[in-house]
Structure 1
Amino acid sequence: MQSDPIFKTSAAADAANLREYDTEYADFSWDAARKLIDGLPGGGINIAYEAIERHVLTGHGPQIALRWIAKSGERTDITYAELSLLTNRFANVLHNCGLEKGARVYSLLGRTPELYIAALGSLKAGCIFCPLFSAFGPEPIHARMEIGGANALVTTTRLYKRKISDLRDRLPELRTVLLTDGDVEGGDPLPPLMAEASEMFQTERMKPEDTALLHFTSGTTGKPKGVVHVHEAVVAHHITGRLALDLKPGDSYWCTADPGWVTGTSYGIIAPLTNRVTMIVDEGEFDVARWYEILANEAINVWYTAPTAIRMLMKAGGKAAKGHDFTALRFMASVGEPLNPEAVVWGNDVFGMPFHDNWWQTETGGIMIANFASMAVRPGSMGKPIPGIEAGIVEISKDGATELTKPMAIGELALRPGWPSMMRGYLHEDARYRKCFLDGWYLSGDLAMRDADGYFWFVGRSNDLIKSSGHLIGPFEVESALMEHEAVAEVGVIGIPDDTAGERVKAYVALKPGFEASDALLLELIGHARKKLGPAVAPKEIVFRENLPKTRSGKIMRRLLKTRELGLPEGDISTLESDER
């Protein structure tokens, strides 16, 4: 892997927020990072204050905070000053409904301004905010609202009728439903309540360890896990947005993630606003032509998206990008699952700059490892740890966790605890939370390697690792090799039991338009993989699929491929987006 091509960054890297990695990593302190946020006058902390009020108080109220692009293409601009007043009104609505500090406010909305106002208004009121993805079905919604003890829900009349009304009797703690666009039995119309509410509101003074956000992540089996984050997480959101995404005040920034996922909250709301950028929010779903138009027409400076979306753009071909002006674009980043090397190369070919992969989890709350604007990019690598984060590769045995220092040794990716956005618990699951820590390390559950220069390389989830004839095979490596073939759009790789080898490698492949599944193509792909990987690592079996099972955030569900292969219980599949059995 260390011999892979190294992409130098663009000339804009000379003005990057993080210019010299080794020096800034050595000099960094979280105390210094805390001084980059203001804190409330007179003491206390509140994420919403750092995202909005401090900019208004320093004269930046007229700057556009959020530009919303409706499905129709119509644009609506909300300035920081207007966002301050709208979130004040929403905070007052919550208080007028009897929801005080610590109440749990959920949202079930598409990417509309009301979602962003509800998120920030809830935090401003001292409530705990939990976003739900609007495409969830009733049972995933019920599980998350039940676990979190939802007190209030902000949603639309359509979503309420289809997904919530039949759940009310099973949610005894749900006292208030606010409807953004109508009035039905069981809900209160939000627009008149907003109109009647005062524009004056004193932001609640919160303690650093007060709970602010609740995000859910799927469990391998059983119910989803509620991940708890606190107001001090804003320190990490702010500094990682500045260092890992190179956000600068006044930037035009587009994070394509829905706030129903942690990326869409941490880096689709908090990090950009605390860094005083203009956020572009698109209500529409993925569309190749629309995305290229947004990048060009909104003069996007920083673009944060997902590998699935990048692969879909690649699938459409480079011609789709022709005729658009991307000269404003200076930094592109990817998150959600490992970014295959060919996607990094493709970005360089089409946009004149590579995509910068980074790694983090719902549990870490913010970016932990990244390819920085000023660093050379090694395609396929996650990059290096954020300043303030100590990362290591550890081996777990009955004696504990032992750090592996040999370059490219495979082990579990682990972090030293203590950063501000680290989860403070799994809701109601203390024992499960404690199992994440061992011998002074947070155990991520991801397998990785670290090369001699300190770059980290993703191997797979610890339960994804394939052990075949004495070889340890990471599915990502096999997937990346197959992705290099011109016919391949997506790949999922698993290990299945084998009497002789222990496990054998099996790949599920979805093809690009214009390519048909055939025995000839199957043999070609097997030969391609053997040439790239060698016979010990290459898949012994390849199956063509129309689609691969993916979460709604775009991750290919290898676990689901394997459980179906073995006829095992599927566990929590509430986040499943696409599937072709």
Structure 2
Amino acid sequence: MAHPLIRNNQHNIGHICTTQQCLEGRGANLAMRWVDSQGTRIDYSFEDLDRESNRFANLLSNLGFGSGDIFFTFLPKMPEQFFAFLGALKLQVICGTMFSNFGEEALLDRLGDSGAKGIITKTSLLKKLLPIRKRLPDLQYVIVVDGDDDPDLELLSYRRLLAEASPDFLTPLTQADTPSVLHYTSGSTGKPKGVLHRHGSVVLQSLTAREVLSLTHEDLFWCTADPGWVTGTSYGIIGPWSLGVPQLHYGGGYDAKVWMQLLEQEKVTVWYSAPTALRMLMREDTSIFASVKLSSLRHIFSVGEPLNPEVISWAQKVLNHEVYDTWFQTETGAIMISNRPGLKIRPGSMGKPVPGIQPAILDDTGKHQETGIQGNLCLKPDWPSMFVTYLNNEKKYQERFQHGFYHTGDTAVQDSDGYYWFMGRNDDIINTAGHLVGPFEVESALLEMEEIAESGVIGAPDELMFEKIVAFVALHPRYTPSPELELKIKLHVANKGSSTICPHEIIFCDSVPKNKSGKIMRRVLRAKYLGQDPGDISTMDF
């Protein structure tokens, strides 16, 4: 039986989020209220969204893009981000999104691995892209949203190309398995992996937006996530707009006063943010909240890292609202386990599975663990938004599926009432402010510095960010530790990768512990940092 969201077997995300909304009589309805960092407001209807994404689809088609080509957005949050994303998907072009704070190496990893044919960016970000352009032979087109054509730098003007593009576009019939969105996620060893999704993901993204986030046409929804993150595409674009739900999008960064004003003045009804942001709000002067009236706000949801019970208690007391924690991954594409309205919150828990999702707690042999016993959090495969591969790394993809289940890499416990409780990662991935950072990526950036001979990176508990990045570095003999060198190291990593992977703490040491095969013993580093017993160190190479 066809899903009620899908009309005539058309699964195309771009079509469903725009054209289909117009065909169903919502064309004149508000789709996006855009507020820039200076407070300027612009409203876009679903007709506007449809027209501008149509023009971008035609823009790409005029340049020779077609089904299966890969195109990236490298923009701060701005309206063009959404037009480009939806327009590329209408053309069946695979669309990847990247954070605007990415540095050269982060760009090179993603654009090079994917063989991206084109990218859209701003002139202010070209200083990161142009130095690596010659190392990206597949990158044929660089489109700038705020600049003119520049033949010498091989740049194309978005404004000119869009003016030449028709506002009419007939989206080709798109099957559920057609590739759609590409996100890169870090691994504990090796470069970031390209997580490829399909257009059929819209079915579960839509269902969870309705059943978990409880969105209706009368809501104004605000997801604070950047589109460079899976939350920003699954629930800052696809889920709400597939339901015809209007969204608030804000172009500025974290500012407690501004955020509270937006919630109040724009009459936001459902708010989706991250525990780190909520913990930052907890540290603000309480006077910020005293004068704010959140009478329009129905629900607050969080995502990205475990939600502390203290945050839930604070929100009840200060904001007079519950906070519902949700859990999913880049690979899952949509919410899998969640607290939600109608389900009693157990502070600190992940909640219960959403309809159609079958989690299991397994030991390393694939045996189901009894209630209350910690094990690997796994999911029965073939939910609609499940990723289809790691781009160019099918072997790694297959390794995630064992004993008939997808292994998430998280460990958890299920209680007797069916609630799941996150216990930790079973690898070295660091969850810092909701962003998963692979230590290898940070260690590689550190070793590029001439001062550093060895590096080892771990995650350590942090009250604000859940985990902070701690880097142990051993210097070459001719260099000595200093505050100036520490700052230089942090700036180097931020510029090479992004501010997300920048170490929060640098610890200078004589050497980094390794085993006899040369593998960094992060377990020993973590124990040293936390003042714990390192356990068996018989394999260490002294």
Asked if Structure 1 and Structure 2 have the same fold, meaning a TM-score greater than 0.5 normalized by the shorter chain, the answer is yes
Q: Distance in 1 between matches of 2:26 and 2:424?
A: 44
Q: Distance in 2 between matches of 1:156 and 1:250?
A: 34
- The equivalences for 1:520-535 within 5 A come to none
1:434 aligns with 2:434: no
Aligned to 2:510: none
Q: Distance in 2 between matches of 1:65 and 1:367?
A: 22
Aligned to 2:436: none
| Conserved? CA contact 2:89–2:95, under 8 Å | yes
Q: 1:368 aligns with which of 333, 336, 344?
A: 336
Q: 1:238 aligns with which of 196, 201, 206?
A: 206
1:421 aligns with 2:388: no
Q: CA deviation at 1:320?
A: 1.4
Q: CA deviation at 1:273?
A: 0.3
Q: 1:443 aligns with which of 398, 403, 407?
A: 407
Q: Mark the runs of 5 or more structure 1 residues left unpaired by the alignment.
A: 1-30, 466-474, 480-504, 511-547, 549-553
Aligned to 1:6: none
Q: Mark the runs of 5 or more structure 2 residues left unpaired by the alignment.
A: 433-457, 476-489, 507-542
| Conserved? CA contact 1:211–1:228, under 8 Å | yes
Q: Distance in 1 between matches of 2:228 and 2:67?
A: 22
C-alpha distance 577-113 of structure 1, shift in aligned 2 (>3 A): farther
| Conserved? CA contact 1:66–1:279, under 8 Å | yes
- CA displacement, residues 258-285 of structure 1 (integer Å, 9 cap, x when unaligned): 0001110001000010121111111000
Aligned to 1:169: 134
- The equivalences for 1:363-402 within 5 A come to 363-396=331-364, 400-402=365-367
| Conserved? CA contact 1:389–1:419, under 8 Å | yes
Aligned to 1:208: 176
Q: Distance in 1 between matches of 2:253 and 2:205?
A: 26
What amino acid is the match of 1:167? I
Q: CA deviation at 1:577?
A: 5.2
Q: 1:579 aligns with which of 501, 504, 508?
A: 504
What amino acid is the match of 2:418? G
| Conserved? CA contact 2:459–2:467, under 8 Å | no
1:279 aligns with 2:244: no
> Percent identity of the aligned residues?
39
Q: CA deviation at 1:573?
A: 6.3
- CA displacement, residues 271-318 of structure 1 (integer Å, 9 cap, x when unaligned): 010121111111000001000001101111100000110000001143
| Conserved? CA contact 1:296–1:325, under 8 Å | yes
Aligned to 1:564: 472
| Conserved? CA contact 2:333–2:386, under 8 Å | yes
Q: Distance in 1 between matches of 2:129 and 2:460?
A: 39
Superposition TM-score, scaled by structure 1 size: 0.76
Q: CA deviation at 1:205?
A: 1.7
Q: Distance in 2 between matches of 1:508 and 1:432?
A: 28
Aligned to 2:84: 118
1:329 aligns with 2:297: yes
Aligned to 1:192: 160
Q: CA deviation at 1:36?
A: 2.5
Q: Distance in 1 between matches of 2:193 and 2:277?
A: 26
Q: Distance in 1 between matches of 2:261 and 2:111?
A: 37
Q: CA deviation at 1:392?
A: 1.2
| Conserved? CA contact 2:361–2:377, under 8 Å | yes
What amino acid is the match of 1:130? G
Q: 1:49 aligns with which of 15, 18, 33?
A: 15
| Conserved? CA contact 1:109–1:115, under 8 Å | yes
What amino acid is the match of 1:173? D
Aligned to 2:68: 102
Report how many aligned residue pairs link the two structures. 460
Q: CA deviation at 1:436?
A: 0.6
Aligned to 2:118: 152
CA RMSD of aligned residues (A): 2.4
1:228 aligns with 2:196: yes
1:129 aligns with 2:40: no
Q: CA deviation at 1:333?
A: 0.4
Q: CA deviation at 1:143?
A: 0.5
- The equivalences for 1:463-482 within 5 A come to 463=427
Q: Distance in 2 between matches of 1:403 and 1:89?
A: 51
- The equivalences for 1:472-511 within 5 A come to none
- CA displacement, residues 372-428 of structure 1 (integer Å, 9 cap, x when unaligned): 1111111100100011001111101xxx301112x2211111110010100111111
Q: 1:455 aligns with which of 416, 419, 427?
A: 419
What amino acid is the match of 2:322? P
Q: CA deviation at 1:107?
A: 0.5
Equivalent position SS for 1:564: strand
